[in-house]
Amino acid sequence: MWARPLVHTGEPGGEDSIMKPSHVAFALAIVAALLLLVAGPGVRAQLWPHGTGFELMRLGAYLGMGVIGLSVVLLLLPRMRRTHPRLLLASMLLAVVVVAIPWHGLREARRLPPIHDISTDTTQPPAFVAVLPLRAGAPNSAEYGGEEIAAQQRVGYPDLAPLRLDLPAEDAFEHALATARLMGWELVDADPASGRIEATDTTFWFGFKDDVVVRVRPDGDGSRIDVRSVSRVGGSDVGANAARIRAYLRRIGG
């Protein structure tokens, strides 16, 4: 008995085809997901610059949209809907996830002000000292941008404000320092005399370095804590610095 041929020469997409359209859709969905998955870690591992990482995410999103369209078309075909519905639905679901992640980031970037320097005190923001050598060559300056930045912050993050504690400044400083360590930040300097704490936080996915300075001052019978968080790269932080400050102050206050 002759062996069955590996490739069917009849109807394209038939049961014996090496690569069915449904398999193509699923393979493309996998490629789109891989582009998304490697974009950030590649930047973190210094395999490519952050601009390339963003382009990989964009390419993955476009490919994901193509997979969604292809899957919908194939599901409209009775033969495909009858023989490979689960594979096509899996392809579509995976592609939706791939598209949704960068789409959410883009939507947030458009909704929030395009700034990367956030402070609870926009009149006299805490100043960096020890971190400055680490920022040498960074695209973003550590100098505060003044009223132009402050006005955008008031619109985008109106809730950010100094934290007041019913503790002497010395005790508040120790509490602020312990909380900075709990946040997982890399401590750069802690100066009790000036009430200044400086640290660096590394983002999870892309490994971006954002610098933080905490200032603790006496305030009547208690103390006042101000926090400033600044990205080293990128025009917009998509809310990352504000979220970091909120989380830190929430932890101190709690």
Among the candidates 91, 111, 131, a domain finishes at 111
Which SS3 state, helix, strand or coil, does residue 194 take? coil
Segment 191-209 shows an average pLDDT of: 95
Clarify whether residues 90 and 212 are in a common domain: no
Prediction pTM value: 0.83
Among the candidates 111, 141, 164, a domain finishes at 111
Segment 229-254 shows an average pLDDT of: 94
Q: How confident is the model at residue 19 (pLDDT cuts 50, 70, 90)?
A: low
Q: What residue numbers bound the domain in which 213 lies?
A: 117-253
Which SS3 state, helix, strand or coil, does residue 209 take? strand
Cα distances (Å, whole numbers) of residue 228 to 116, 225, 249:
10, 10, 11
Q: Using one digit for the tens of pLDDT, what is the confidence trace for 143-196?
A: 999 999 999 999 999 999 999 999 999 999 999 999 999 999 999 999 999 999
CA-based nearest residue to 73, from 91, 94, 98, 100: 91
Q: 42, 56 in Cβ contact below 8 A?
A: yes
Q: 231, 237 in Cβ contact below 8 A?
A: yes
Q: Using one digit for the tens of pLDDT, what is the confidence trace for 41-53?
A: 999 999 999 999 9
Is 123 within the bounds of a domain? Answer: yes
Q: 116, 236 in Cβ contact below 8 A?
A: yes
Mean residue pLDDT of the chain comes to: 91
pLDDT at position 13 over 50: no
For the chain, give the number of residues.
Answer: 254
How far is it, in rounded angstroms, from Cα 42 to Cα 242?
25
Amino acid at site 17: S
Is 14 within the bounds of a domain? Answer: no
Q: 183, 251 in Cβ contact below 8 A?
A: yes
Counting the structural domains of the chain, the total is 2
Is 1 within the bounds of a domain? Answer: no
Q: 160, 243 in Cβ contact below 8 A?
A: no
How far is it, in rounded angstroms, from Cα 66 to Cα 85?
18
Clarify whether residues 129 and 229 are in a common domain: yes
Q: Using one digit for the tens of pLDDT, what is the confidence trace for 89-138?
A: 999 999 999 999 999 988 988 999 999 999 999 999 999 999 999 999 99
CA-based nearest residue to 22, from 71, 82, 77: 71
Which SS3 state, helix, strand or coil, does residue 71 take? helix
Clarify whether residues 186 and 96 are in a common domain: no
> What pLDDT does residue 227 have?
98
Clarify whether residues 102 and 164 are in a common domain: no
